[in-house]
Amino acid sequence: MRSTASCFWSVSRDVSVKAAAPTSVPPSVLHVVGDLNRGAVENWLVRMLAHARKRDTAVSWTFYCAFGESGDLGKTAQALGARVVCSPVTIARKIDFIRALRAELRRGRYDVLHCHHDLVSAVYLLASVGLPVRRRIVHAHNADESVLTPSAFKQRLYREPMRRVCLKMADRIVGISDHTLDTLLAGRSRQKGRDLVHYYGVDPTPFVSMQSDRLAFRRELGLPPDVRILLFAGRLVPEKNPLFVIDLLSELRRLDPRFVAIFAGDGSLVGAVRERAREPELQPWIRLLGWRNDLAHVMACADLFILPRPEQPMEGFGLAVVEAQLAGLHMLLSQGIPNDPLLPTASYRRLPLAAGADAWANAGIELLATPAKSRAEVLAAFEKSPMQMDRGLEELVRLHA
């Protein structure tokens, strides 16, 4: 499995970014997602839909929400011209769900079935058996290999059969990183033309145009003007390991008492983070902001970004890592973060979690003592990457061709 930063660039050169030949009628695509909430997958799809409208690229997309509700981004997708269909039954009722999805596939006569649910995509593929769908795509967005059951026994029982369905029925297997694709393939060699890496298109506009007042941001949060901000941005869930941030803050403040920690996000561990944040010596120096629509502003006001994901399973891609670079942040990353989202200008240290919070704190202090690349240098590197919006859209259109 590839693991070096240089592979990111070699893979990006291998993936064609030529625009698909123009056609009078774009293929009709059914994107099957869990819902259209705030997850990275849904945000990316809606972002690419908006970019297609901006570029006048013709796309005909329908979103099928397997969890039975559209979510926060449903109206946005509709305003951009997409249809949003909520399954009348949730995926928990497998047979009824397959029947409902099959009825929608028949009704819409879709050219492309684009499944965004990793191994669970096998369920969506089975619903399409015998129907005249021209292209079937399984898109892996993480390497967790979850099959939507809390039972460890059923996870082991279902995982390989579902993988075989995906590999047998899909004519395109797509991963958002080298590691994610290779995890789905589970040791099988990549088949040319079928197995592809497709990186998320990232919109740099908020970072290009941001005019952030660091002092005003600190006043807004009731913090002294000279604090150094350690930022965690994303879901507060076990696979992101947010509680480690509090351990790190304790060590950082031992070395430099100006440090504070800010959490921009929400999730199942928000209660546990709040409980730890009540520790008397740390309570004044922790802020939980919840989800923010101005994350570029928050990042521009921070000093050090952290993503301490457990090493196994690895992060699928790490969109926040790209955004942190665009904001000019130094980054502390675990070995659970792949190289794919790292630009040549990245200022980071990658450490094992086993090294402990004290080693991470020392690495953070050392990082902040080194000058970061200028915003112009970072943006120039980004424009050459496969995450650039035009390239991302062109390649996505080609997947459906």
Q: What tens digit of pLDDT does each residue of 73-107 get?
A: 999 999 999 999 999 998 889 999 999 999 999 99
Same domain, 30 and 148: yes
* pLDDT, tens digit, 9 for 90 and up, residues 130-181: 999 999 999 999 888 888 777 888 888 899 999 999 999 999 999 999 999 9
Q: Is the peptide bond before 386 cis (omega within 30 degrees of 0)?
A: no
Q: Helix, strand, or coil here: 26?
A: coil
Same domain, 214 and 153: no
CATH number of the domain residue 183 falls in: 3.40.50.2000
Q: Which domain holds residue 215?
A: 205-382
Same domain, 210 and 353: yes
Same domain, 13 and 141: yes
* Residue 65, phi then psi, degrees to nearest 5: -95, 105
**What confidence score (pLDDT) does residue 293 get?**
87
Same domain, 279 and 147: no
Number of residues assigned to the chain: 401
Same domain, 85 and 129: yes
Same domain, 80 and 143: yes
Q: Left if phi > 0, otherwise alpha if psi is -120 to 50, otherwise beta: which for 102?
A: alpha
Number of domains in the chain: 2
Same domain, 234 and 312: yes
For residues 306 and 358, give the distance between their C-alpha atoms in angstroms, rounded to a whole number: 14
Per-residue pLDDT of the chain (401 residues), as tens digits, is: 333 333 333 333 333 334 444 456 899 999 999 999 878 899 999 999 999 999 999 999 999 999 998 988 999 999 999 999 999 998 889 999 999 999 999 999 999 999 999 999 999 999 999 999 999 999 999 888 888 777 888 888 899 999 999 999 999 999 999 999 999 999 999 999 999 999 999 999 999 877 789 999 999 999 999 999 999 999 999 999 999 999 999 999 999 999 999 999 999 999 999 999 999 999 999 999 999 989 999 999 999 999 999 998 888 888 899 999 999 999 999 999 989 999 999 999 999 999 999 999 999 999 999 998 988 999 999 999 999 999 999 999 999 99
Same domain, 81 and 105: yes
Same domain, 209 and 313: yes
Same domain, 214 and 323: yes
Residue spans of alpha helices (H) in 188-329: 205-208, 214-220, 243-255, 270-277, 295-300, 319-326
Same domain, 242 and 348: yes
